[in-house]
Structure 1
Amino acid sequence: MMDFAYYRLPDTSEYHVISGEAESISSIDAIAGRSGFVLAPFLATADHPVVFIPATTTDVRSVDASPSSSVVNPAAAPANPISDDAGTPLRATAAATERQAYHHDFTLVHRCLDDGVADKVVLARRHDLTADAVVDVEAAFHRACRRYPHQMIILVSTAVSGTWLMATPEVLVEGRGQRWRTVALAGTMTTDGPWSAKNRREQHIVEEYVGDCLHRHATDIELSAPHTVTAGGLFHICTDFVFDLPADRPALSSLIDDLYPTPAVCGLPKAEARSIILNSETADRRYYSGFAGPVAIGGATHLFVSLRCMEVSGRRVSLYAGGGLLSESREDDEWKETEEKLRTMKDVL
């Protein structure tokens, strides 16, 4: 079967299917004038390149319809037959070792924050599970659509990237023609406030960064007041930005190159934070905290940051989550935040 992507835009009742032979590309500029689906890693490498699925065939289906159980992509992973809709029993692997790895990574990152090397660093972790049966990714996609109506739900599978399912609340950039939108999203709580000083400062850092990037590339910029949004049972602080871009692909590509990775998935200063991440994190992020979405489908582009992710290969499942660390961050609090974020995908299974 060809490589494919399913995506359901937030607050809609239909999902799109794109299939074609995936290609490795260098940037959005490389697909100028073409439509399809992009999956980008946190850091592009020979093993994890930016992947583009051209829209060789497309379809629009109702979320309410039963899964077709036609999704089998042996090039990316073992077949994923339909399982009971109640989900598949899962077993966590090496939980103690995972906690020790997080302690090791947190200590390294926090030392850099204390030394003033960076103001903020996002520390990620991976949680590995083994299912009692081969995981049906199509059924999981439909459960995610029902459970998280306000998030972007994506299922993408290619021979290059493997198979990924995500339910992400964070827009990287979306729009059509000249009018576009992005957000500054940060801070995480399990209740709707009151927001701690740490969460407010974290969101302010992201908001300033996004605003600075837009002023270098965009015009007619409008922003909302910070407000609370919900995603997967968690609460975040969000500022919306609406702006104009010249109606050509280089303008969009230049903005993405400047904007990504945002402080919400990397940190500040960007170069220093990314270096700390690459030297400190035990697990390879792969396509977690990259970005994904349709490009020029029906004239519109919707690129979302790849959050609340899981990677599936047969019975093996890897969940990814992260949190922003500041100098005042406490390890136990940050660990608990990642545990809450992991529940988004655990509940789908």
Structure 2
Amino acid sequence: MIETVTATSLSVAEALAAFLHTGFQSGGSFALWRKPKSSKLEFVLDELDGVRKVGMNLEELPAGFIIHPFEDQENKQAYFINASNYLRIDLTSDLKEVDLPQWIQAPKNIEYKSLLKTVGPEQNSEDFSQKIHDGDSKEHFLALVEQSISEIEKGNLEKVVPARTKHLDLPEEFDLAKAIKSMLDSYPNSFVNFFHIPQVGTWMGASPEVLIETQGDYFHTMSLAGTQAAKGDNPLKSVAWTQKEIEEQALVSRYIVDCFKKIRLREYEEHGPKTVMAGNLLHLRSDFKVNMKATNFPQLGSVMLDLLHPTSAVCGMPRKEAHEFLKANEGFDRSFFAGFLGPVNIDNTTSIYVNLRTASFQEGKVTLYAGAGVTEDSDPEKEWEETEMKCEIIGKFIQKSIA
């Protein structure tokens, strides 16, 4: 069931509440999202009661929404929300209201806090408390950055991306629809998303990073690294990047080119690096584009997805060694943070994003996630400050979105 809506009866905020209410009331899996620089809010609701998993051959999948954790699943499978029901609404500025089909339930009010207390996976409270301690500890993170620098100086790693968590209590009058609406308004250049899979996870985020995208005959990916706060009236023109940040981004670009070489793909376009803005942060980005028809590579999306995840931007270089270092020393489960997610085979387009600037809901709490790229020139305190800025991107909407 595919419908596009352009009539008027509900505000966008009320439409969001209706999507969330319909999804939670169904008892199944659902997702909603808006792509970067898009005016379309999209929603899928799976009619299957249980959890659906699929293989990684994107080209063979039905229309839906895919979610994969940071760590590989057994048999390289991902969670999948089938587009049994699909709807999109137009968010353009001249359209203040939207009309919804009958299968969408428009509630008068929703008590999100009581609802979100029970949406996460079942957790042993002692284990949960330990995870909070391990991921939230500044002392642990600073020591991990020091250890990372030491491994780089020894020549064992070129770069590593340690991560951390930050836990917030869910405000008593928290309004999830209001939080998502604020994120849509604040981050037009990010992939704003929310998904719920019963007993697996409930997450929302605003990712700035495309992992892979295929549209018709074209494939696209990007290297995104380097972070600083946007300052001044024109931050894109006044920005200055350090050698550390330039080299960090160049490592990610080099890894993408190495992947192309591995599959003997020589015909590609590379543009950048250039400075881009995501919320209140600036990053360095390079874009890569391939004509899959001209190169006779129709399955390039699936092939590159397998080669790129987890990217050096969320893991490090060399990838295998950096991944093993993080598993041994990071001290908490990243779950879906730094995994990937996005719509698959909707309107002849697949758009997969790295799950960054994200938060999960469980037991009346919200967990924020952030990482920082560490090289031999890194300063532990500055890396901590970078993760604080990244946590704030989503954290401020948790704390301010009160009904």
Give the root-mean-square deviation of aligned CA atoms: 2.8
Aligned partners of 2:159 and 2:317 also within 8 Å: yes
Counterparts of 2:305 and 2:163 in 1: how far apart (Å)?
A: 22
Question: Which structure has the highest helix share of the two?
Answer: 2
Q: Is the 8 A contact 1:135 1:315 kept in 2?
A: no
Structure 1 residues 61, 122: CA separation in 2 closer, same or farther (over 3 Å shift)?
Answer: same
Q: Given the alignment of the two structures, is residue 232 of structure 1 paired with residue 279 of structure 2, yes or no?
A: yes
| Structure 2 equivalent of residue 7 of structure 1 | 33
CA distance change for structure 1 residues 97 and 171 in 2, over 3 Å: closer, same or farther?
closer
Which residue of structure 1 aligns with residue 215 of structure 2? 176
- Answer whether contact 1:71 1:138 (CA < 8 A) is retained: no
Deviates more, 1:32-41 or 1:165-174: 32-41
Pairs within 5 Å for 1:266-281: 266-281=315-330
Gaps of 5+ in 1: 81-92
Match of 1:119 in 2: 158
C-alpha distance in 2 between matches for 1:114 and 1:135: 46
8 Å CA contact 1:137–1:165 kept in 2: the answer is no
Which ranges of structure 2 fall in alignment gaps of 5 or more residues? 1-25, 99-104, 120-131, 399-403
Rounded Cα–Cα distance in structure 2 between residues aligned with 1:165 and 1:215? 35
Change (3 A) 1:234 1:316: same
Equivalent residues in 2 for 1:58-97, closer than 5 Å: 58-63=86-91, 65=97, 77-78=116-117
More strand by share: 1
Shift of 1:170: 0.4
Mean Cα deviation higher: 299-308 or 16-25: 16-25
- 1:203 matched to 2:249? The reply is yes
Q: What is the CA deviation profile of residues 56-105 of structure 1, one whole-angstrom value per residue up to 9, with x for unaligned ones?
A: 1100123455895698999x95479xxxxxxxxxxxx8799621221232
Contact 1:123–1:325 (CA under 8 A) maintained in structure 2: yes
The within-5 A match list for 1:1-349 is 1=26, 2-20=28-46, 21=48, 22-25=51-54, 27-29=55-57, 32-45=60-73, 50-63=78-91, 65=97, 77-78=116-117, 98-133=137-172, 135-191=174-230, 192=235, 193-217=239-263, 218=265, 220-245=267-292, 250-313=299-362, 315-349=364-398
Q: Which residue of 2 aligns with 1:85?
A: none
Q: Distance in 2 between matches of 1:146 and 1:314?
A: 28
Separation in structure 2 between the aligned mates of residue 281 and residue 97 of structure 1, nearest angstrom = 11
Alpha-carbon displacement from aligned partner over 1:297-318 (angstroms, at most 9, x marks no partner): 1110010111000001353100
- Cα contact 1:309–1:345 (8 A) shared by 2: yes
Structure 1 contact 135–312 (Cα < 8 Å) conserved: no
Q: Output the amino acid matched with 1:325.
A: V
* Structure 1: distance between partners of 2:140 and 2:388: 14
Q: Report the Cα distance in structure 2 between the residues aligned to 1:238 and 1:261, rounded to whole angstroms.
A: 17
Change (3 A) 1:96 1:207: closer
SS for the counterpart of 1:334 is helix
Normalized against structure 2, the TM-score is what?
0.76
CA distance in 1, matches of 2:298, 2:144: 38
Q: Distance in 2 between matches of 1:30 and 1:36?
A: 10
Counterpart Cα distance in 1 of 2:71 and 2:59: 19
Classify the secondary structure of the residue corresponding to 2:226.
strand
CA contact (8 A) 1:169 1:231 kept: yes
301-310 or 104-113: bigger deviation = 104-113
Q: 1:219 and 1:60 mapped to 2: Cα distance?
A: 38
**Cα distance in 2 for residues equivalent to 1:339 and 1:201:** 22
Q: Is the 8 A contact 2:292 2:298 kept in 1?
A: no
Aligned to 2:3: none
Deviation at 1:261, TM superposition (A): 1.3
User: Partners in 1 of 2:154 and 2:376 — Cα distance?
Assistant: 9
Are the counterparts in 1 of residues 41 and 88 from structure 2 also a CA contact under 8 Å? yes
Matched residue SS, 1:237: strand
**What is the DSSP-based 3-state SS (H/G/I as helix, E as strand, rest coil) of the residue aligned with 2:396?**
helix
Determine the structure 1 residue equivalent to 2:123. none
Give how far 1:117 is off: 1.1
Contact 2:135–2:166 under 8 Å retained in 1: no
Alpha-carbon distance in 2 for matches of 1:164, 1:15: 17
Q: CA deviation at 1:124?
A: 0.5
The alpha carbon displacement at 1:178 in A equals: 2.1
Letter in 1 for 2:287: D
Q: 1:339 to 1:49 in 2, by over 3 A?
A: farther
Indicate conservation of the 8 Å contact 1:37/1:292, yes or no: yes
What is the deviation of 1:328? 1.5
Letter in 2 for 1:330: D
1:263 alignment partner, SS class: coil
Q: Give CA deviations for 1:17-43 in whole Å, capped at 9, x if unaligned.
A: 011134123x32277141110011110
Distance 1:95 1:287, change over 3 A: closer
Work out the CA distance in 2 between the residues paired with 1:45 and 1:104.
Answer: 29
Paired residue secondary structure (2:324): helix
Residues 164 and 248 (structure 1), Cα distance of their counterparts in 2 relative to 1, 3 Å cut? farther
Rounded Cα–Cα distance in structure 2 between residues aligned with 1:30 and 1:226: 28
